[in-house]
Amino acid sequence: MSDATTEEKPKKGGSKVVLIGVLAAVIGAAAAGGGWYFLGRKPATAEEHVAKPEPAKAPTYMAMETMVVNLADPGGERFAQLGITVELSDEKAADKIKSFLPSIRSAILLLVSQRTSEELLTRPGKEKLARDIAGEVGRPLGFIPPEPVKEAPREAAKEGATDEVPMKKAVAREAAKDEANPVRGVLFSSFIIQ
């Protein structure tokens, strides 16, 4: 009897060893798999964590019919032919502008007819005209263009006197520039002066 009991003890001890071996193999496989997963991954870069900005919406353009306008030159013999395209914030603004197009065209014609050919032949004159047109196009949509800033008289500037009011108006106008105006820009597709 003593031989039978001694033989059973190694079998019980052997099953524990097998069980421990299987558990060690499972734990080792899990550790190896976890190590492979974490070490084999591509490292995260700062670019992946930063939210990518959404692409800007394509602007909405609206072309107006070509306009021919007499200029304010002495003798009234000079005229301008303008092709104007307006860049708008969205399609809704384009639909609104189309409903006011006759009054907008009239306002632009009046605006251009006050200019001289000498003024419109310079780049600053064209840029000022574009800003003024943007204000006139936005007016029917509720945008009230700011009053133009009048420059201080040159004599006062030479004497050393400063007039801060025009400067403050200019700063205020730049701060509120185009925030409410759905017109983002005025582009000239043709600009002929004869």
Structure tokens at 16: 């524990």
Same domain, yes or no: 28 and 79: no
User: Number of folded domains in the chain?
Assistant: 2
Residue 54 lies in a domain: no
Q: What is the pLDDT of residues 9-56, one digit of tens each?
A: 555 556 777 778 887 888 888 887 777 777 776 655 555 556 666 677
Same domain, yes or no: 116 and 188: yes
Residue 55 lies in a domain: no
Same domain, yes or no: 9 and 80: no
Q: Smallest Cα–Cα separation from 142: which of 109, 185, 97, 84?
A: 97
Residue-number span of the structural domain to which 168 is assigned: 60-193
pLDDT band per the 50, 70, 90 thresholds, residue 160? very low
Q: What is the CATH number of the domain that holds 69?
A: 3.30.479
Q: Do 49 and 87 meet the contact criterion of CB atoms below 8 Å apart?
A: no
**Full-prediction pTM beyond 0.85?**
no
Query: Is the pLDDT score of 93 beyond 70?
Result: yes
Average pLDDT, the chain: 76
Q: Smallest Cα–Cα separation from 182: which of 146, 145, 141, 148?
A: 141
